[in-house]
């Protein structure tokens, strides 16, 4: 298949590498100045190095060659039958406006992560396209020293949601040929958004480790250090409200740690907390600063969305509201200003549960 990846950061390049390795043709579209030197190097050399340190990859090193490496949106969108948007969710409006003139009927647009961003793209794109949202990535890793891409973790299971939901089986058929682990679905894009682990562990991890992050001088390992038993209690309290909201939209309750085990571990008989600790041992160092996307993105885009929906269905969101307030205080800026809410997504102030259900399914 021909796949265009928008966003050439860690996730974009990792997934490009795995797609090319599997024999698909991939175009890379750069939309920001971040990691610009490495992108320029890829564009000049027409390739980049990859080291696969997953259990499956066993440290194998190889070189991949994208079919197209460009900053030109028109040629990048024309290239792909599938468009994978792997920028931060903060860029969704910018990317939607950028690609809208070039999207054609029949394309599949994937948002990773989603946070219900499909509803933004639908406002700008007036074509017969299908949307898909991922709650997390198929692979984890990062660009190392602007020299190569290191893949550090493989998620054995990757659940996606589709809009409209009637196209779910068709999309799973396509994606399972791209990634072996991507053959599972959620009921709708709201379920995927609220099962995005970043919305929970990123803000909580920074909030309860802020002094440690600033004092450590770059020697902080969040997943190994932050989630002590008392902080796990906060996650569980967060989860209680989250599952009440999900049940209001026809979804089964699912514990955060059980969901993490389902994504991260082949053997589902293993204790969920043991799986979480194992994932922590394989995770990367960081963050090294408080002013990080773990707050700047996941609080306004994730928690802003969550609290707006929780308030409509009458579920107590005081814990999530408290996290937003404290994160805003840490950064000395109002993270509610410009936050993604269900009202902003639907472009109306008086939103009902029925409005939301219609928007996430049709």
Tens digits of pLDDT across the chain (362 residues): 999 999 999 999 999 999 999 999 999 999 987 767 899 999 999 999 999 999 888 899 999 999 999 999 999 999 999 999 999 999 999 999 999 999 999 999 999 999 999 999 999 999 999 999 999 999 999 999 889 999 998 999 999 999 999 999 999 999 999 999 999 999 999 999 999 999 999 999 999 999 999 999 999 999 999 999 999 999 999 999 999 999 999 999 999 999 999 999 999 999 999 999 988 887 888 899 999 999 999 999 999 999 999 999 999 999 999 999 999 999 999 999 999 999 999 999 999 999 999 999 99
Question: Which tokens belong to 343?
Answer: 């009202």
> Which residues in 115-178 belong to E strands, given as ranges?
130-134, 139-144, 148-154, 159-163
pLDDT at 129: 98
- Enumerate residues 6+ apart whose C-beta is below 8 A from 119: 189, 345, 346, 359
Q: Are 276 and 315 in contact (CB under 8 A)?
A: no
pLDDT at 33: 72
- Enumerate residues 6+ apart whose C-beta is below 8 A from 4: 26, 27, 28, 29, 68, 76, 77, 79, 80, 82, 83, 84
Residue 204's closest CA among 96, 302, 105? 302
Angle value at C-alpha 298, between 26 and 268, nearest 5 degrees = 75
Residue 89's closest CA among 356, 344, 340? 340
Give the C-alpha separation, 74 to 88, whole Å: 21
pLDDT at 164: 98
pLDDT at 30: 95
* CA R_g for the chain: 19
CATH of 198-361, one of 3.40.50.200, 1.10.150.20, 1.10.1040.10, 3.40.190.290: 1.10.1040.10
CA atoms within 13 A on the CB side of 259: 23
Cα 32 to chain center, whole Å? 18
Alpha helices (H) along the chain: 10-21, 36-45, 73-79, 92-99, 118-124, 168-175, 189-194, 198-207, 210-216, 222-225, 229-248, 256-264, 272-282, 293-296, 304-313, 318-331, 342-346, 353-361
Residue 38's closest CA among 57, 16, 61? 16
Q: Are 215 and 132 in contact (CB under 8 A)?
A: no
pLDDT at 295: 98
- Enumerate residues 6+ apart whose C-beta is below 8 A from 56: 154
CATH of 2-185, one of 3.40.50.720, 3.40.120.10, 3.20.20.140, 3.30.2320.20: 3.40.50.720
Question: Which tokens belong to 232?
Answer: 């796990």
pLDDT at 336: 97
Greatest Cα pair distance, the chain, in angstroms, is: 55
Q: The dihedral of CA 131, 198, 242, 179: what is its sign?
A: positive
Q: Are 312 and 190 in contact (CB under 8 A)?
A: no
Domain ranges across the chain: 2-185, 198-361
Tell me if the pTM is above 0.85: yes
């Amino acid at each position: 298949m021909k796949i265009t990846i928008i966003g050439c950061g860690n996730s974009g390049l990792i997934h490009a590498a795995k797609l090319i390795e599997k024999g698909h043709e991939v175009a890379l579209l750069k939309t920001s100045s971040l990691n610009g030197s490495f992108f320029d190097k890829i564009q000049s050399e027409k390739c980049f190095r990859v080291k696969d340190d997953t259990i499956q990859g066993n440290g194998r090193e190889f070189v991949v060659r994208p079919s197209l490496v460009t900053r030109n949106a028109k040629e990048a969108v024309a290239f792909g039958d599938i468009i994978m948007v792997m920028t931060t969710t903060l860029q969704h409006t910018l990317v939607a406006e950028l690609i809208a003139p070039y999207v054609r009927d029949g394309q599949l647009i994937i948002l990773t992560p989603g946070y219900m961003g499909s509803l933004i793209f639908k406002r700008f794109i007036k074509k017969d396209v299908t949307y898909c949202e991922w709650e997390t990535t198929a692979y984890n890793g990062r660009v190392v020293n602007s020299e190569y891409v290191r893949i550090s973790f493989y998620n054995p299971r990757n659940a996606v949601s589709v809009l409209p939901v009637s196209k779910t089986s068709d999309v799973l058929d396509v994606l399972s040929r791209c990634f072996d682990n991507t053959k599972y679905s959620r009921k709708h894009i709201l379920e995927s958004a609220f099962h995005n682990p970043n919305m929970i562990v990123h803000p909580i991890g920074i909030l309860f480790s802020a002094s440690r992050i600033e004092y450590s001088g770059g020697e902080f390992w969040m997943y190994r250090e932050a989630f002590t038993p008392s902080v796990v209690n906060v996650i569980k309290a967060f989860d209680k409200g989250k599952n009440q909201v999900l049940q209001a939209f026809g979804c089964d309750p699912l514990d955060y740690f059980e969901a993490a085990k389902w994504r991260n571990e082949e053997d589902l008989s293993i204790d969920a907390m043991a799986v979480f600790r194992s994932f922590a041992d394989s995770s990367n160092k960081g963050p090294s600063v408080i002013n990080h996307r773990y707050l700047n993105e996941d609080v306004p885009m994730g928690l802003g969305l969550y609290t707006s929906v929780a308030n409509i269905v009458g579920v107590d969101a005081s814990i999530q509201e408290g996290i937003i307030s404290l994160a805003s205080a840490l950064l000395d800026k109002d993270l509610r200003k410009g936050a993604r809410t269900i009202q902003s997504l639907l472009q109306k102030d008086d939103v009902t549960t029925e409005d939301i259900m219609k928007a996430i399914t049709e």
